[in-house]
Amino acid sequence: MVIDLNHIININCLLLISFSHPYEYELDMFNPPEHQLTKVEPKLPRTEHIPLKFVDSLEDLNSMVKQLKNVTELAVDLEVSVPMNNSVVLINFCLF
């Protein structure tokens, strides 16, 4: 992959370096699949209880990976703990 440095660093006439938006390159290169650009009717949230699963074993992890391979969209939420050296302490997945 070739990265155009003009997307990363802007140099003005005083030779002061200022950084562009941290995701400018990624946003410029973003090319979503066609199905994400198709207008769809919003779905009402499901009202039944959605079971939660705490993944704490290799078997559970493999089962989760198997399920993730069959979805077209998913949401990910990472919880980070500053007192724990910015370690990821929780990852939430929501499958669609």
pLDDT of residue 30: 92
pLDDT, greater one: 20 or 70: 70
**pLDDT above 90: percentage of residues in the chain:** 10
16-63 residue pLDDT tens? 555 577 888 888 899 998 988 999 888 776 667 667 788 899 999 999
Predicted pLDDT of residue 16: 54
Q: Are 89 and 79 in contact (CB under 8 A)?
A: yes
Tell me the pLDDT of the chain averaged across its residues.
77
